[in-house]
Amino acid sequence: QKRKIEEPAEIVFPKYLTSIYSPKGRPALDYMNYIRNPHFERSDIIKLAKAFDLQYCYDSDSSEKKNNFEGYLIEPVTCKGQKSFSARSVTSKVPTHKHPKGSRIGSSLYNYDSIDSEWVILVEGPMDLFRTWLFGYTNVVATFGKSVSAAQKMLLLEKKPVLKHISIMFDGNGVGDAE
């Protein structure tokens, strides 16, 4: 008997989004300062935000039901045409990372659709990818965690014969710990 393949759920993006370089997106832009170092200016972070279409989910200031992603940096994910997002709190709220209901983040690679060279750098998460990108390495993808799932391995294999080399650069901290 054939196993039925589930169609991916339609991902609903938060309603109140703005770019992180707009006045309402200021909390997210301020948060992004932590990936800065002496080599980068705020303008570099804005360039990065534009390149990856980073958004901030703000409070609607209305009597509507509270948004589950309010106060989160929204990192749009497109992998093989499937759209989703990863969300990272820019406040002290827990959990630090969230994904929308029905998301298949564990089967995706952040920045996957941009792989077009023989060599790619594989990092843990979008923030690691952003830091690497700021240093000029644009051939970077992220796994959304400390391991590579079977589905993510298959995605990388699908990029053959173009993709020939993968450099894995996972950091040494614990799961969910920032350094």
Between CA 157 and CA 8 the distance in angstroms is 21
Q: How confident is the model at residue 142 (pLDDT cuts 50, 70, 90)?
A: very high
pTM over 0.85: no
Which comes out higher in pLDDT, residue 88 or 40?
88
pLDDT digits (tens, 9 = 90+) for 1-53: 554 445 555 677 888 888 888 899 988 888 887 776 777 888 888 899 999 99
**Sheet strands (E) in 72-170:** 72-79, 82-89, 97-98, 119-123, 140-142, 165-168
At 51 the pLDDT is 93
The average pLDDT across 44-65 equals 82
